[in-house]
A and B are shown apart, each in its own frame.
Chain A
Amino acid sequence: MKRHLISAADLSRADALLVLDTAEELAGLADRPIKKLPTLRGRTVVNLFFEDSTRTRISFEAAAKRLSADVINFSAKGSSVAKGESLKDTALTLEAMGADAVVIRHGASGAAHRLAGWVRGSVVNAGDGTHEHPTQALLDAFTIRRRLHGGTRGAGLDGVRVTIVGDVLHSRVARSNVLLLSALGAEVTLAAPPTLLPLAVESWPCSVRYDLDGELPKSDVVMMLRVQTERMTAAYFPSVREYSRRYGLDAARMARLPGHAIVMHPGPMNRGVEIAAEVADSARSTVVEQVANGVTIRMAVLYLLLGGTGFPEVAR
């Protein structure tokens, strides 16, 4: 694996499978009475969050702590950043404090990329603007493999048909998932209104459809993307109701899925907009599992990037 995890494109199929298989090993921990491993003792992980994201920050924090790393949470609000400190100066400060890994969430696409040029430690992209969110894609792949293949080690997602629905244009989750899931062999289809697709999306390793209904009977996985409130007022679609009618996953649409198909959402959900409550709470929904798997996958990522020891049963 590379030193940083900035884009899902940084992961070869073998790398991605190593992360998933490592996560399977680590998942066993959750069932033990003592969930903590000593593998990253003495190492420092900084959570550098320029955007509010309690969910993702807590997930990384729990992952680092279960591996016994020291965790420093650095959020932009009320910090030196709020006083006008630049990303570079923040990076140099963390560098001086000796961070072994920096987990960064930033509103600007490419921020993680830039940070990697200024620090010696490993950089993990926890979401940069509208670019990527690679650990989300890894946890999604992990969730799919567990649900459809029972978590079989070494297995890819070959032939699994995944439909990603919604605001692809602004979605870092979609970008990372298209790259990672296709690298693992899945057949990815994007279903969205044309206004919410990037101009040259046909160059991506996936298919593109404007019509969701035609895709449902063929889908093993439907991944609903969150509709950001700021898109609702910027004329990407006429109204929230119309969006929901054409691209929302309600019970009637869910009924057209094959029996084994699952419904995913990276959260937080807009119930009643992109996903109906009865779908979100149905047995097909993996939303809660995704959260739990997020901690496991982030443990695996930190473990592999920081070269953790004391966990010999994981093949490295």
Chain B
Amino acid sequence: MSAAGAAGSAQWLIRGARIAAAGAAGSAGAAGAADILLSGGVIAAVGSGLGRAGVRVLDAGGLIALPGLVDLHAHLREPGREDAETVETGTMAAALGGYTAVHAMANTEPVADTAGVVEQVWRLGRAAGHCDVQPVGAVSAGLAGARLAELGTMADSAARVRVFSDDGRCVADPLLMRRALEYVKAFDGVIAQHAQDPRLTEGAQLNEGEVSGRLGLAGWPAVAEEAIVARDCLLAAHVGSALHVCHVSTAGSAEIIRWAKSKGWPVTAEVTPHHLLLTDDLAAGYDPVFKVNPPLRTAADVAELRRALADGTIDCVATDHAPHPAEAKETAWPEAAPGMIGLETALRAVQRAMVDTGLLDWGGVADRMSARPARIGRLAGHGGPLEAGRPANLTLYDPAAPAAAVTHGASKSRNTPFAGMELPGRVVATFLRGVPTVLDGMPA
């Protein structure tokens, strides 16, 4: 039986952590420290003086206790590209980053567009046991954008798929998008759109602007994202169904989503850590480690994305963890595969972009990296709050750990844009249903 399945065999007392509660502003600040007792896979008690005999104790003085992080958007590459990542290595990377649940995107080989493939990915996640793997189903058969995949069958499968996405490609056909949005209402599904007008981005390499013009790289205009975001918000409102916008990268998209939400429309959105920290001028050296889709944008976009995440217009942070083997990046820029790994650095990047800048407190981080993504992904067992009776999924994080260089971790791939950069903080421990997957920053 897997480690996570053995939950309950040991009790843990987490002593003196500051509990970050979503929705309770400043809760991680003055509220002070508390003990958390984990037993039988759930949080048995939260309070003070919970020590008892036979309990393993973790001294969490100075650490923040966050509900286990939930990623709505990761590429685990299995089946098909096990040279880049496997469910085993990807979920270990996730645990080291503080995650207890990840959504695995559908663009595998074969595509996750049938019950068979999503169940396989789900079972691989259970077997690995480092964090829960929730497969995302493809919207269209083979990601071809022509006809719907068997969405209902995937929803009814053991994997209980609720999030559907052709991520990597846009569901560009407006009629197919409308049908997908409508159809998933029958089982409380959500369509996660990779917003990219294909005609406006043929051959696109880099944000269209001053940098792309200077470097002679074909531009990826912001409007190619914003036009699809606007269209899909209107479609979601028209049919009354849930739209989730993947990896929002432009100030204009954030503004459109803010407008859609002001109308009460059922729209949610995510932003990646790299779009909160990095800008297109990093492409100046033509190192394809900075090539990603959607591309890195301008400093003005970064500022607006941070503001939108802070005010809740953008609901959550999702990694878009996209591992690639070395040879896919050791090429000229236009020939390189787009994508960056991010599971192991997401929380540290968010601390740098959002917490150290005063835009979010730790309660806000718990909301944007756990509670809201769990709600969007329909994951009842995740997202906190850290209260008695809840599943013992939590992360202990040291925000005061001195900024340190990003180094190689558990991911099979090395394409991190933060290599050589220093980020603050350190994930100290991760618990999945009461069982540690990470202790002292190492795989448990």
Contacts and interface: CB of A to CB of B under 8 A. Distances in A.
B210 A203 contact: yes
Nearest to A198: B213
Interface residues on B, range: 20 to 34
B286 A199 contact: no
Given A198-B212, A200-B209, A110 B327 contact: no
Interface string A131-144: 11000000000000
B213 A110 contact: no
A131 B208 CA distance: 14
Contacts, number: 67
B292 to A, nearest CB: 16
Contacts of A194: none
B285 A199 contact: no
Interface stretch (B163-171, B214-222, B265-273, B355-363): B214-222
Interface string B197-231: 00000000100111011111111010000000000
B213 A86 contact: no
Contacts of B331: 86-88, 114
Contacts of A86: 327, 330-331
Interface in A178-204: 198-201, 203-204
A110 B217 contact: yes
A199 B208 contact: yes
Interface residues of A, number: 23
B335 A108 contact: yes
Interface in A150-189: 172, 175
Contacts of B335: 87, 108
Contact of B216 (A88, A114, A175, A199): A175
Given A109-B286, A131-B216, A88 B330 contact: yes
Contact of A110 (B208, B218, B286): B286
B307 to A, nearest CB: 24
21 contacts: A86-B327, A86-B331, A87-B332, A87-B335, A88-B330, A108-B333, A108-B334, A109-B205, A109-B217, A109-B334, A110-B215, A110-B332, A114-B331, A129-B216, A129-B332, A130-B217, A131-B215, A175-B214, A198-B213, A199-B212, A199-B213
Interface of A: 86-88, 106, 108-111, 113-114, 128-132, 172, 175, 198-201, 203-204
Give me the 7 closest cross-chain CB pairs, A-B, nearest first: A110-B286, A198-B213, A131-B216, A108-B332, A200-B210, A130-B216, A109-B216
